[in-house]
Amino acid sequence: MTQQYTIARLGHQGDGIADGPIFAPRTLPGEVVTGGVEGQQLTDIRIETPSDDRVKPPCRHYKACGGCQLQHASDPFVAAWKVDIVRAALAAQGIEAEMRPIHTSLPHSRRRATIAVRRTKKGTLAGFHGRASDVITEIPDCHLLAPELLAAIPVAEALAVLGGSRKGILAVTLTLSSAGLDVSVQGGKPLDGPLEASLAQAAEQQGLARLAWDGEVLAMRNPPYQQFGAAKVAPPPGAFLQATKDGEAALLSTVQEIVAGSKKIVDLFAGCGTFSLPLAADAEVHAVEGEPTMTQALDQGWRMAQGLKRITTEARDLFRRPLMPDELRKVDAVVLDPPRAGAEAQVAELAQAQVPVIAYVSCNPVTFARDAKAIVTAGYTLNWVQVVDQFRWSAHTELAASFTLSHISG
């Protein structure tokens, strides 16, 4: 039975929420909508009274594709909504902070994407999954991906023909690098001699910089370098990389501003050196990361670079073994860039260490706000927050925040 609802607000996943709560994807606050209810989900939605912030989605794939959630909303609306998500998360912890104007990456700027590929009777089907679905939507005119990345989807299809199963879906991560396309495949057939040979031959024919299959490097014509400041780093297959160069630059410039003047910096959850290597132009850096292959890549990048100050690396699980206060003495600043779970254990020790400056980079406003509460309670001031939107048209929100000790003794 069709029912009518008024959308009150957007949830954290970008869905409209009406009283109930009833969740209505691709709706906006203030809109009057009708549809059928299944559980808490509104289906077969019809917009009866559209919002002034509703726009025509720029991408023709939007209706079927699950890659974006907010193309039906104006850019100013999305920008304000993402800033408000961070403000509300902080308010829930009793914290207010200056919110700087959001920085949003341009369309067609994603340098990395994981493409879903399935073999079919006629060949292959490659693209993104539909919303909450195993159905794959082809994306030849995607507005997110950089043109060079979009042009590489046939590579994913060719690999699926060679090593994909008719029963499963291949996850093919395509990353642009200075040496060409870096490809990492998960979910393929088990490797044997003939398959290895055919995949290596395909990598050569396609001109790939590197091809990895379920974590094993099968071919590397050239190291797939990423530029981090003055250093070139070849990350391990599938390693974390900021989604856009523009978003990475915005986060980096914010972190550099926060820690400016520091001579000794600890970079926690350092990855392959996104922040460590550029910061080493002016400061000594100790980079800590849980994955040894990443610290090795970072160290090698530093050793090959010219003109950088000393970087030391440490492979360490910061969730189980956070750096302790005595390990943070004589440090001028800490950079903290944890995964979505945040850094609760590390923040507890960091708060006791009383490091003068903390630059916190987060991809989850809720866990950031929880950690910010602990930092502020320990005597720090949250000076300001810079929201960065490099996942345009998605519900994903990133930020960098400046903390300084309110009273530095001595």
- Per the annotation, binding residues for S-adenosyl-L-methionine are 242, 269, 289, 337
Q: Are 312 and 338 in contact (CB under 8 A)?
A: no
Q: Are 255 and 236 in contact (CB under 8 A)?
A: no
Q: Token pair 């193309």 is at which residue?
A: 71
> Measured on CA atoms in the order 25, 28, 34, 40, is the torsion positive or negative?
positive
* Residue ranges of E strands in 270-362: 284-289, 311-315, 333-336, 357-362
> Measured on CA atoms in the order 318, 319, 325, 330, is the torsion positive or negative?
positive
CA distances from 333 to 131, 216, 364, 387 (A): 42, 37, 22, 21
In 3D, which of 52, 58, 69 has the Cα closest to residue 11? 69
- 365-377 vs 75-92: helix crossing angle, rounded to 10: 40
Q: Are 369 and 89 in contact (CB under 8 A)?
A: yes
User: What strands lie across the sheet with 311-315, from one edge to the other?
Assistant: 98-104, 380-389, 398-405, 357-362, 333-336, 264-268, 284-289, 311-315
Q: Say if strands 284-289 and 311-315 run parallel, antiparallel, or are unpaired.
A: parallel
Q: Are 311 and 298 in contact (CB under 8 A)?
A: yes
Backbone angles phi, psi at 302, to 5 degrees: -65, -45
* Distance between CA atoms of residues 387 and 103, nearest Å: 6
Where is the binding site, in residues?
A: 242, 269, 289, 337
Enter the DSSP assignment of 44: E
Q: Token pair 């490659």 is at which residue?
A: 126
CB atoms within 10 A of CB 210: 24
Q: Say if strands 41-49 and 32-38 run parallel, antiparallel, or are unpaired.
A: antiparallel
Q: Which two tokens stand for residue 173?
A: 């991560």
65 among known catalytic residues: no
Annotated catalytic residue within 65, 142, 272, 363: 363
Q: Tell me the catalytic residues.
A: 363
